[in-house]
Structure 1
């Protein structure tokens, strides 16, 4: 599992957020740089000089992304559509996950040097501001969850999965919904672990930035986190298990989809393929 940064987040938004129709996707992409700038400002309160740097670098990154990456996204979806039309195998699912990872790694490799340059330009007050935005105070943590709270959380997770599926496949039959809901409970509950891990990394980053590291030192840290990530022992097995369980869940759900529902998803993939091709030529 990887933490997802701004442009990587864009991939996820475009592929899985539930944007409907070609025009919506294209509008979202065309305004993504503006949204990212405002999001970065929300966390850091950027200066005019920093804002200029961010705009300049995002302009170049989006030009590269349009020309080089969007055609690859379209090609990936064409291949995914061909493989998924008759149901996914374990090998095909592994290929899909590996393909997405490859694109994210390419994205991180392009972004990290500029992310490091930006972070090295932060003033102490901006680091404090970032800390206020992302670090929870001890009194905000509620400790161990009760069995009832965990059950409720799993039910809410199941509902979100159902909603996302209906976004792609249309309305599910009651029997399908019941089966899928039951299957989702096999997924590990790592919400608290993931939140704790993210909190730990944020604190590490803040402490590191307060030492006034160079841009190259920050770049090395970011590469260790995003390009060759490793997790503390208390998280490693849990995160790996979640990845395996997610794939297993997809393979269990896939045969439950009717031909009509699958065709609806294929049509939607065709829309994204068209969007990526149109955007790549602008």
Structure 2
């Protein structure tokens, strides 16, 4: 048993410990030491996932506003979606870390996460999950009743996702269903309904998520094989580039149908074209045997999504003028 001095040093060391794939960020350098394990649970040291959850929300809000020829509610909706996406992605990641704590301890990239590293206990993580979920609920309650019900419906998919990698070679589909839910939410908030444009946008976003998360999963294929975790990265293997062509092409086509159904103008189509070029660039650049490059290509999807949003936003503003 260690002395009190050693225990204090160990606690301090745990608080300062950095997650293997997220070094040199503001959490590591600026956040108070006591808060760092919780901020890491919420992935605020790696906000890319929050961006990827947020972007379909913004796409749908812009498309729905264009369809309504009214952008007066768009600024507040965009801001609330931003808060909600960061809160709910944090809650989802905390839930993922609770359920995956034994698997994370066996993988080089994830064993330094707060729970397997001993920085946070499961009870503390659960309490933090509830706090983040309450923030998300507070945001959701700012919308109409249909949007509230639509948002709550997504929780079932979020709850089962962490277990899918143990069951199916296609956990990326379930992640896509969860991360693309925002493609429905914009229409639910702005129009109070979900029609064909929302469904096609949702389907296109799901295809996009399957593609980029396959790239992300290639960081862990060796460890995943050792511990029996399944993924599309392991399923596709050397065929990954061909699979990405299929899923990214499907994403562009389906999102294009959603844009067409809303009667969008040139800016929206230009945004989609630039989005498509970016996805093609990702496929050309990707090397699945280079984990660092896989991570960089995966993160670049934020830029791809923002380019599409810019086109949809300009189109919405022009149509409302």
Whether TM exceeds 0.5 here: the answer is: no
TM-score (norm 1): 0.32
